[in-house]
Amino acid sequence: MIKVSKRFYSFLFFSAILPLIFTCGNNPTDDKDSPKWEALGYGDRIASRLVMADPYLYVCGAIDGLWRKNIRQEDADWEYLGLADPAGSWSNGNGVRHVVIHQENPDWLMVTSNTGGAGQHKIYRSLDGGQNWARADSGVSSPGNIQLFLQYPDRVLGAGLSIYSTHDFGNHWEIVANGRQQVNIFANHPIAKHIVWMGGETAFFDGFLLNSADSGRTWEEIDLLQVSISVIFSIAFDATNSDMVYVGMNSGIIKSSDGGQSWINIAGLDTIYGVLDLVADPRNTQHLWAGSAVQGKAFWETWDAGYSWKSIEVPNYDSLIVYDMVWDEVEEALYVATPNDIFQFTPE
Residue at 276 is within a domain: yes
| Predicted confidence (pLDDT) per residue in 97-130, tens digit | 999 999 999 999 999 987 654 445 689 999 999 9
pLDDT at 86 over 90: no
CA neighbours closer than 13 Å in the CB half-sphere of residue 347: 20
1 falls within a domain: no
User: Would residue 115 count as lying in a domain?
Assistant: yes
Which CATH number do you get for residue 132? 2.130.10.10
Average pLDDT across the chain, whole number = 85
In the DSSP assignment, the letter for residue 90 is G
Tens-digit pLDDT profile for residues 260-281: 999 999 988 778 889 999 999 9
Region of residue 236 (left: phi > 0; alpha: psi -120 to 50; beta: else): beta
The confidence band for 87, taking pLDDT boundaries of 50, 70 and 90, is confident
Residues facing residue 254 across a β-bridge: 247, 265
Query: What is the domain extent for residue 182?
Result: 6-345
Distance CA 152, CA 188 (A): 10
Give the pLDDT band (50/70/90) at residue 327: very high
Tell me whether residue 138 is in a domain: yes
Question: Residue 139 — left, alpha, or beta (φ > 0 → left; ψ -120 to 50 → alpha)?
Answer: left
* Top-confidence residue, 19 or 253: 253
Count how many domains the chain has: 1
Residue bearing the bigger pLDDT, 247 or 251: 247
Please state the φ and ψ torsions of residue 311, each to the nearest 5 degrees.
-80, 140
CB 86 within 8 A of CB 111: no
Torsion region of 205: left, alpha or beta (phi above 0 gives left; psi -120 to 50 gives alpha): left
- pLDDT class of 193 with cuts at 50, 70, 90: very high
- Binning pLDDT at 50, 70 and 90, where does residue 144 land? low
Cα–Cα distances (Å) from 305 to 21, 219, 253, 335, in that order, read 27, 27, 11, 21
In a domain, 18, yes or no: yes
Closest Cα partner for 273 from 11, 48, 6, 45?
A: 11
